[in-house]
Amino acid sequence: MQLALLAQLNAARRARKSALLVTDLATGAQELLDNETLAAEDRAGVFTTFLQSGLSGSLDHEGRSLFVEVHRPPPRLLIIGAGHIAQALVPLARMTRFDPVLLDPRTAFATPERFPDVPLLAEWPQDVLPGPWLDAGTAVAALSHDPRIDDPALSAALKADCFYIGALGSRKTYGKRLERLRAAGFDEASLTRLHAPIGLDIGAVSPAEIAVSIIAEIIAASGRKPLRGSGPQPVEAARAGG
């Protein structure tokens, strides 16, 4: 690979941007494509499929045999609230190829002893979000059950391009949350992005079961393979929390 292309690829990685390294199999010529490049040159077409799937592969395009190598940053899972569900969710996130980050201003909960080797943000959400933590490759799970912590995090996530936003709570809790978010200026279209109660409806009760339901819903939202009936659900019953 040419040094200039390598520099571009490293810059994309630092910025957590997806990119395609396209190699002409006949000539060995290479170019790096990203969403901005494809849009500017009106070349999206089939290349977008590679970006969306995350799978590298061969392609015959405009009379050329190409190999498309996909470089996508690992999706991030920003967990708000360092309770028991978060402790169960972190290892599940890692096993399913997410990079977990934990945010909780309550320093008694957000400790290295309870969350070893996890980036910890012992700050109030409004002080650190969006910052570098929210982007299209980020899922947000608000689990603190404290509106002083969850609401600012959800507001920041709704303003960002996060691919998943979920919040713990019952139907009653969720209704009050919606009222607060509407009062903060969010319209109904924005609020439909919120998965609440968080997690797939599998009858989860324990923290570990709730964590499984959450990671399953996030995987479905990530676009790896859509589940029939997945997506933000209407408020019908409490699935996680009270």
Give residue-wise pLDDT tens across range 179-238: 999 999 999 999 999 999 999 999 999 999 999 999 999 999 987 554 454 444 433 333
Q: What is the pLDDT of residue 236?
A: 33
Print burial letters for 86-103: b (CB count within 10 Å at least 16), e (below 16): bbbbbebbeeeebbbbbb
What percent of the chain has pLDDT above 70? 89
Q: Kindly report the average pLDDT of the chain as a whole number.
A: 86
Are 196 and 97 part of one and the same domain?
Answer: yes
C-beta separation of 125 from 80 below 8 A: yes
* Residue labelled with tokens 């490293």: 10
The CA distance from 159 to 35, in Å, is 20
Q: How far out from the chain centre does Cα 182 lie?
A: 23
Mean of pLDDT values over 8-22 = 82
Are 215 and 106 part of one and the same domain?
Answer: yes
The CA distance from 82 to 67, in Å, is 43
Between 42 and 228, whose confidence is greater? Answer: 42
Are 120 and 184 part of one and the same domain?
Answer: yes
What percent of the chain has pLDDT above 90? 56
In a domain, 41, yes or no: yes
- Give residue-wise pLDDT tens across range 70-105: 888 888 999 999 999 999 999 999 999 999 999 999
Q: How far out from the chain centre does Cα 123 lie?
A: 20
Are 36 and 116 part of one and the same domain?
Answer: no
Mean of pLDDT values over 101-129 = 95
**pLDDT surpasses 80 at 16:** no
Q: What is the pLDDT of residue 61?
A: 82
Domain residue limits at 106: 76-221
Are 81 and 95 part of one and the same domain?
Answer: yes
Longest CA–CA span in the chain (Å) reads 63
Are 162 and 214 part of one and the same domain?
Answer: yes
Are 215 and 156 part of one and the same domain?
Answer: yes
pTM assigned to the model: 0.74
Are 94 and 142 part of one and the same domain?
Answer: yes
* Residue labelled with tokens 């290349």: 47
Are 164 and 204 part of one and the same domain?
Answer: yes
Q: What is the pLDDT of residue 229?
A: 45
Q: How many structural domains are present in the chain?
A: 2
**pLDDT surpasses 70 at 121:** yes
Q: What are the two backbone dihedrals, phi and then psi, of residue 202, each rounded to the nearest 5 degrees?
A: -115, 15
Are 208 and 98 part of one and the same domain?
Answer: yes
Q: Which two tokens stand for residue 55?
A: 């799978």
Are 135 and 51 part of one and the same domain?
Answer: no
Are 37 and 86 part of one and the same domain?
Answer: no
In a domain, 19, yes or no: yes
Q: What is the pLDDT of residue 4?
A: 84
